[in-house]
Amino acid sequence: MRKLRMEVAGMTCDSCNLHVARALERAGAREVAADWRKGEAVFVAGEEVGLDRLAEAVRDSGYGPGRVERLETGAWRADRAGASEYDLLVIGAGSAAFAAAIRARDQGARVALVEHGTVGGTCVNVGCVPSKALLRAGEVYFQAGHQDFAGVQTSAGKVDLAALVAQKDELVGAMRQQKYLDLVDAYGFELIPGHAEFAGPDTVSVDGRTITAGAYLVATGASPAVPPIEGLPDAGYLTSTTALDLRELPASMAVIGANAIGLELGQLFVHLGTKVLFFDVLERIAPFEEPEVSEALTAILRGQGAEVYAPARIVKVRAAAGKRVVHAEVEGALREFPVEQVLVATGRTPNTSGMGVGLETAGVELDRRGAIVVDEHLRTTNPRIFAAGDCTTAPQFVYVSAYEGNLAAENALNGASRTVDLRALPRVTFTSPQIASAGLTEARARSEARDVKTSVLPLSAVPRAIVNRETRGLIKMVADASTDELLGVSILGEAAGEVIQAGVLAIKFRLTVKEVAETFHPYLTIAEGLKLAAQTFSKDVAMLSCCAA
C-alpha cells in the first residue's frame, strides 16, 4: 500500500472535502483525508490503483487534480546500506549539509561531510549573521542622528569601523562553534577535511582517498558573481564578502547591483556616513518586488542622501588619482562617477566549477549558470546523487537550503517520495525599512493567467506606524478575483520581516481576503496593517474608527 498526497484545486468548503473524499474512495483509495484549506487530499492506495484513475475521479467530481506525492511511511533501515563505507556522503558543510546530516543521523544512517574550506557555509561566516549584525549597528547609528520625537536629544559620534568589524567577527566565531562544529560530535557524523570530486558515477575522491556511499548529496553553496566589466579587475572592487571586512569607512562607494544584497550593504554604508551610488541594469531597484515597493524604497534611499540610477549600464571601471571611476550609461548618456570603493553585488554563482569535471564524470547535468539540475525530489540526473541549496537552481535563502538538505537526505535514504514545495516561501530584504514578501507578486500572478485583484495600503494608514513616526512604506495584497484567495503579500515597513509570517500562514492555508480581514489583529501593531490591507479591498479604511471590523 502507498500513502499519497494529491493537490486538489477548486475546494472551498467542508462540503468539498466530502465530495473529493468520496470520489477518491470510488476510485479505490482508502483512509482519505481531504482538506480544502490546504488544497490537498491524503490517502492510501494499493499499487494496482493507477494515478490516472484517481485523478480522473477527482476531475469528474468537479475539482482539479494536481501533483501527486508519495509519502514515506517507514523509517530507513540499516540493511538497505549495502557494503558502502557510508550510507550518505555530503559534499559541503553549510546549512543544507548540516540539515541533511542531522536528518540522516536521526534515522541511524552512517554519514560523513566533506569540506575543503570553513565549516558553516555562507550564512554564518560571510552572509546572514555578519551582515545583519553590521546592518543593525548601522541602523542604531543612523537613528541616533535622525529621530523625530520632540524633547528627546540624541547624537551620533564618529564610527570606529574596525571595532565594529572585530565585534562581528567574534559573534561569527561563536555561532560557527555553537551551531555547526559542536554538532559534529553531538550527532555523531564524520567531518572529512579536503576537496571532493566525483571519480565516477558512484565514487568520490577526497585528496586521493576513494570513498563510496549508498547515496551522495552535493551541497557546496554559492559565491559572489562578478560580471565581465572592462577594467574592473585592475581597478579593484569589493564583494559582499570583502565589504564586511573593511576596517576604514570609505568616503564614497558605487554599488553595482541593487537587489537584496546590494541594497542591504549599500544602505549599511549610507547609514554609517558614506556617500553611496546605486546602479542596476534593470528598470528599477528591488526589481523582483512589487513596483510600488521599488518606487517607495527609491524615495527613501534618496531621502537618506544616496543616488539611485536604474536602469544603468556599467560600461567600464578604471582607477584614476586614487579613486575608481565608474563609466555608466544613464538615460542614454555616458557619465563618469568617481568613487573611493566599488561594491559588486550582481548575484551569486553556484560553487560547482571546482568539481565540474567530476560532476560530468558522474553524469550530473548543470545548467548554463553552472547550477546543478535537480527534479522535484532534489535528485540529479544521476539517481544516486542528490543536490540541495545554493548550488542548485533553488532560491538562495538559508532556510530554503536547510529545508532542502533535510528533504534530500530523506529522499536519498528512503527513496524519492518527498517533493519541494515553495508556494508560500517568504523573502526578506533587511533594508531600513525592511522589504518582506510571500507568495505571488501581481506581475507573477498575471503571467500565470490568473484573474487577480489588488490592494495597496500606505503605512500612513496604520496607527502603529503613525505613533512610531515611521510611516514610510506600504502593504500590498494580491488575491484571486473569483475565489478571494490570498495569493501574495508584500510589505515595505518597520518589522516587515516579522509581520510577513502571518502572510505566509495565510497563503499556505489558502485563507481568503475576507478571512484575513475577520481575524483578530492586535491594535497598535504593524501586523494590524494586514487586516487593514485586507479591508481595503472593499472599504475606505480612512473612514473607519480604530479596530473597526
Which one of the listed residues 6, 86, 128, 216 is annotated catalytic?
128
- Rounded to whole angstroms, the Cα distance separating 92 from 192 reads 10
**What residues form DSSP beta bridges with 372?**
366, 392
Instruction: Give φ, ψ of 444 to 5 degrees.
Output: -65, -40
In the residue annotation, 391 being an active-site residue is answered as no
- Cα distances from 140 to residues 9, 135, 146, 350, 408, in angstroms, run 47, 9, 10, 34, 40
Strand segments, DSSP code E, in 153-274 are 190-193, 196-200, 203-206, 209-211, 213-218, 222-224, 252-256
In the residue annotation, 123 being an active-site residue is answered as yes
CA angle 527, 532, 535 (to 5 degrees): 140
> Which of 240, 218, 196, 225 shows the shortest CA–CA distance to 369?
225
Which one of the listed residues 86, 175, 399, 547 is annotated catalytic?
547
In the residue annotation, 1 being an active-site residue is answered as no
Which one of the listed residues 6, 16, 355, 477 is annotated catalytic?
16
Beta-carbon contacts of 46 under 8 Å, excluding residues fewer than 6 positions away, are: 1, 2, 28
Which one of the listed residues 123, 253, 355, 391 is annotated catalytic?
123
Cβ atoms of 165 and 241 closer than 8 Å: no
Which one of the listed residues 1, 6, 63, 355 is annotated catalytic?
63
Other C-beta atoms lying within 10 Å of the C-beta of residue 135? 19
Which one of the listed residues 1, 6, 11, 141 is annotated catalytic?
11
- Rounded to whole angstroms, the Cα distance separating 431 from 123 reads 17
In the residue annotation, 63 being an active-site residue is answered as yes
Integer distance in angstroms from the first to the last C-alpha of the chain? 49
CB burial readout 216-236, b (16+ within 10 A) else e: bbbbbbbbbeeeebeebeebe
Place of cell 559620534: 157
> Which of 522, 447, 523, 519 shows the shortest CA–CA distance to 488?
447
Which one of the listed residues 6, 141, 477, 546 is annotated catalytic?
546
Q: Which residues are catalytic?
A: 11, 13, 16, 63, 123, 128, 546-547
